[in-house]
Amino acid sequence: MKSLILAGALAALLAPLSANAADKILNASYDISRELFEAVNKEFVAAHPGVTVDQSHGGSSKQARAILEGLEADVVTFNQITDVNVLVKGGFVSDDWKSDFPHNASPYYSLPAFLVREGNPKGIKDWSDLVRDDVKVIFPNPKTSGNARYTYLAATAYAKEAFKGDDAKVDEFIGKLFKNVPVFDTGGRAATTTFVEREIGDVLITFEAETRGIAKEFGEDKFDIVVPSVSLLAEFPVAIVDKVVDKRGSRDLAKSYLDFLYSPEGQTVLAENGNRVNDPKVAETFKADFPEVRLVTVEDVFGGWDKITSEHFASGGKLDKVLNTR
């Protein structure tokens, strides 16, 4: 009897390995997208009976690394373009992946936004409020958190506009902002705990998509979401992992999965989970959920990710200087 149960358990665990390859794909995604893709996959499977979409979640840099080492993901849905580029360099994803799907291969987008305590007691409306002496700001350390890098870049982009490119004033603004951060946590999840459970700070900066998840989990009536006048476009790139789909013969399914993300049904699920989408009809339906905001891009303001890395995030770069003088 015991051995029967054991054999059953073994079979159940090994079964996925022997299933028909073209019926199932693996989507390697970032760490906080579990519920999002659970909802997406449910819709996709309903429209494509008989297929399975498996999910792997982790920090998207870690996921890219795992794919290089043999994690057989057919598609990636990441939150950082640089991590797809890692796969391009490794020969897993084609050079022109950005043109394979519409909107820079980013089916949805988001932006750094503010989560404030209920009623917005400090009256925080825009980036300029964050450098006030009476405001404490929470976001994780940009050295270790991709989320906070967007915050840092969005604040810099705002300051560049506000001070018309006066670099000294921009640096001063960023310096003041960082002085208003009482603790730097290593990741977005830890910063959320600091803000929500330890009740430190007046405003938490994170992706708009995530502010909703936080409000949902910890109480909608405890927080307000504030969208600043201008913010940075955060893209969520998707790509087919050529090397894997060619080996497994799953290219068609992988493509139809990513296409689904652009379909009205897919875009609706994405929007329901707090992500902004490009489909005009869906965007119109969810208009009330997404306040107007002017978005600037990394390319326009900073001249691309490579330049940002060398100028801001490399050791000894601008970010290090800000952190050191804090």
Give the interface with another protein as residue ranges (CB under 8 A). 6, 9-10, 12-14, 16-17, 26, 31-32, 34-35, 54-58, 66, 68-72, 189, 192, 213-214, 216-218
Residue 126 carries which DSSP code? S
Residue 159 vs residues 153, 226, 231, 293: alpha-carbon distances, Å: 10, 18, 11, 16
Shortest Å distance, C-beta 272 to another protein: 16
Contact assessment for residue 238 and residue 253, using Cβ atoms and an 8 Å cutoff: no
Residue 90 or 175 having the CB closest to another protein: 90
Residue 248 or 318 having the CB closest to another protein: 248
Residue 70 or 316 having the CB closest to another protein: 70
Contact assessment for residue 55 and residue 27, using Cβ atoms and an 8 Å cutoff: yes
Shortest Å distance, C-beta 294 to another protein: 29
Shortest Å distance, C-beta 127 to another protein: 26
Residue 53 or 130 having the CB closest to another protein: 53
Residue 141 or 192 having the CB closest to another protein: 192
Residue 212 or 312 having the CB closest to another protein: 212
Shortest Å distance, C-beta 12 to another protein: 7
Tokens 């993300």 found at:
261
The CA distance from 243 to 74, in Å, is 9
Residue 242 vs residues 56, 108, 296: alpha-carbon distances, Å: 18, 22, 31
Shortest Å distance, C-beta 177 to another protein: 26
Residue 35, Cβ density class (10 Å: 0-12 exposed, 13-18 middle, ≥19 buried) = exposed
The CA distance from 264 to 45, in Å, is 15
Shortest Å distance, C-beta 32 to another protein: 5
